[in-house]
Structure 1
Amino acid sequence: MSKQLSLEEIIFNDMKKALKGSEKLKLSTLRLIRAAIKNAEISKKDKLTEDEVIGIVANNLKKLEESLDIFTKGQRPELADKTKKEIEIVKKYLPEQLSEEEVEKIVKETIIKFGFKSLQDIGPAMKEIIPQLKGKADGKIVNKMVRDLLDNSKN
């Protein structure tokens, strides 16, 4: 009976493979993620849960996407290309992203379940919704969807 590897173990194993295979970009990208995981463990003074590791990987992806945007606007194609490749590497370690329809279904169910009615409820609504979608959907999209649904519910 083989136990399933944690995301942290998968990243570490892939890092070793990248080192042996001389995949420099993959190695450096995974090292950054691993360092972020280790730093979080040191701060927490305990092992991270799988969800916390996914959160760290998602944060790294978000930072890379922000960098890509900056490099694209700054007309730095060589850095933009490198960052695109890093984004592809990082995405492989995140759970599959939910479709917009699946996200909307979860958002609507949560709004109905907790009786959120107006834009004043956006904070509590997001507090209930985000843990369900952590790493599975872009927070900006979720926030916009919640705003739109709460804004339309007053009509």
Structure 2
Amino acid sequence: MSKQLSLEEVIFNDMKKALKGNKKLKLSTLRLIRAAIKNAEISKKDNLTEDEVIGIVANNLKKLEECLDIFTKGQRPELAEKAKKEIEIVKKYLPEQLSEEEVEKIVKETIIKFGFKGPQDIGSAMREIIPQLKGKADGKIVNKMVRDLLDDSKN
């Protein structure tokens, strides 16, 4: 009977494999994630939950995507290519992203369940929705969807 490895353990094991396989880019990317996890554990003074680790990986992904955008705009193709490869590595450690239809379904169900009516309820709606979608959907997309649905409901 084998127990399911935590995301942190999977990252650590893959880091060791990358070290043995001489995969420098993967190793450096995983080291950055592991360092962020360790720093968060030190700040919290306790082990992180699986959701917190996923949040850290998602934050790293967001930072890499911002870097890719900056490198592309700055016409630095070699750095943009490196960022693309790092993004592909990091994405493997995040849960499967929900489709836009699945996200919209969850958003609509939550709005109906809690009876959110208009733009004044956007913050409350986001507080209920984000924990359900943490790591499974982009927060910007969720926010836009909530705003669109609640703005439409006032008409």
Please classify the TM superposition score into its range, dividing by the shorter chain length: over 0.9
Task: Note the alpha carbon deviations across 1:95-126, whole angstroms, 9 max, x for none.
Answer: 00000000000000011111111111111111
Any gaps of 5 or more consecutive residues in structure 2?
Answer: none
1:7 CA drift (Å): 0.2
- How far did residue 44 of structure 1 move? 0.3
Cα-to-partner distance string for 1:43-102 (whole Å, 9 max, x where unaligned): 000000000000000000000001111111111111000000000000000000000000
The residue that corresponds to 2:144 in the other structure is 144
Residue 94 (structure 2) aligns with: 94
Give the Cα separation in 2 of the matches to 1:119 and 1:73: 34
Q: Shift of the alpha carbon at 1:10?
A: 0.1
Under a length normalisation based on structure 2, what TM-score does the superposition of the two structures give?
0.99
- Per-residue deviation, residues 7-53 of structure 1 (Å, max 9, x unmatched): 00000000000000000000000000000000000000000000000
CA distance in 1, matches of 2:135, 2:66: 17
TM-score when scaled to structure 1?
A: 0.99
CA distance in 2 between counterparts of 1:116 and 1:64 reads: 35
2:113 is paired with a residue whose SS is: helix
**Aligned structure 1 segments of 4 or more residues deviating by more than 4 angstroms:** none
Q: Calculate percent identity across the aligned residue pairs.
A: 92
Q: Following the alignment from structure 1 to structure 2, what is the Cα–Cα distance between the partners of residues 76 and 118?
A: 44
5+ residue gaps, structure 1: none
Distance in 2 between residues matched to 1:62 and 1:153, nearest whole Å: 31
Deviation at 1:141, TM superposition (A): 0.4
SS in 1 for 2:51: helix
Alignment partner, residue 68 of structure 1: 68
